[in-house]
Amino acid sequence: MRIFIAGAAGAIGSHLVPQLVARGHEVTGTTRSADRTGAVRALGAEPAVVDALDPDSVADAVAKAEPEVVVHQLTALGGPATLRNVRRGVALTNRLRTEGTDHLLAAARAVGVRKFVAQSNALWMERTGGPPAGEDARIEPDPPRDVAGAVAALRHLEAAVTGITWAEGIAIRYGGFYGPGTGLSADPEAVMTRQLRRRRVPVIGGGAGVWSMVHIADAASVTVAAIERGRSGIYHAADDDPAPVGEIMRAMAAAVGAGPPRRVPAWLVGLLGAKGTVDLMTRARGVTTEKTRRELDWAPRYPSWRAALPEGLS
């Protein structure tokens, strides 16, 4: 198939493109910067420089590529982990998940795309206090105020993509990434790796919230399966071992040779205005993948982050 990947040089895209090319697909991959076209071409894709927030730029690139499938992997969450950079990245990511999604959908419809696959997130499943959420669960409707914009952007993306009637519309909720090219990898300059080694990522409260993790290669393989066999709706990309945040973070720190994370009271972080972070650390649910396994005939190469760390980081 001819496949257009928006965000081809990102964490998932850099693993997804080679997997698709190896399976015989013809891939066009976007980048925001002309300086990165060589990196996209090295992955096996034809590069396209696109401003995802400019509808004309998106429409022109999609029309030129004439794809059968469009894949939306756009975020702006990389870079230095400074407060200013994180805030800027979250704000831009929110726009990419709202305006960017709408631009890509319009361009895809104009050229008769038959499948549209987009990146969502498994961290914000509805806080019911129950077990890990299945693919039929919804995004949290009442998140803390400081993350309301980000969660609303996820809801917009999922509703817009799965609501189309002119093609198969698929949203994939990914668990927390680790592995080459992600923030948690063997690269000493990877953001999460560096912060863990500096002991700047504390466990908040008891760290009792539950996270689901996924190795980046498995995240890409779920996406390949969704492109080739998926039907309209939601799929989850996660391993088989959702676990308490505190446990995961202690294992992450050990895997990168860092001391154990510090612990900070939830009430103190809340007073600093980071109630969303408190929520993630204390109330997150994790996800299951029964539908994904059944409909996509998929299973993770790394079924547990426990067994994969630290070897899976490189």
Q: ∠ CA 221-223-227 to the nearest 5 degrees? A: 120
pLDDT of residue 82: 66
CATH code of 72's domain: 3.40.50.720
pLDDT of residue 81: 62
Per-residue pLDDT of the chain (314 residues; tens, 9 = 90+): 999 999 999 999 999 999 999 999 999 999 999 999 999 999 999 999 999 999 999 999 999 999 999 999 999 887 666 667 778 889 999 999 999 999 999 999 999 999 999 999 999 999 998 899 999 999 999 999 999 999 999 999 999 999 999 999 999 999 999 999 999 999 999 999 999 999 999 999 999 999 999 999 999 999 999 999 999 999 999 999 999 999 999 999 999 999 999 999 999 999 988 999 999 999 999 999 999 999 999 999 999 999 999 999 99
In a domain, 280, yes or no: no
pLDDT of residue 83: 62
In a domain, 222, yes or no: yes
Query: Rounded to whole angstroms, how far apart are CA atoms 245 and 280?
Result: 9
pLDDT of residue 180: 96
Q: Which residue range forms the structural domain that includes residue 293?
A: 2-182+214-239+287-302
In a domain, 190, yes or no: no
Number of domains in the chain: 1
pLDDT of residue 66: 98
pLDDT of residue 85: 78
In a domain, 308, yes or no: no
In a domain, 33, yes or no: yes
In a domain, 270, yes or no: no
In a domain, 257, yes or no: no
In a domain, 60, yes or no: yes
CB count in 10 Å sphere of residue 141: 10
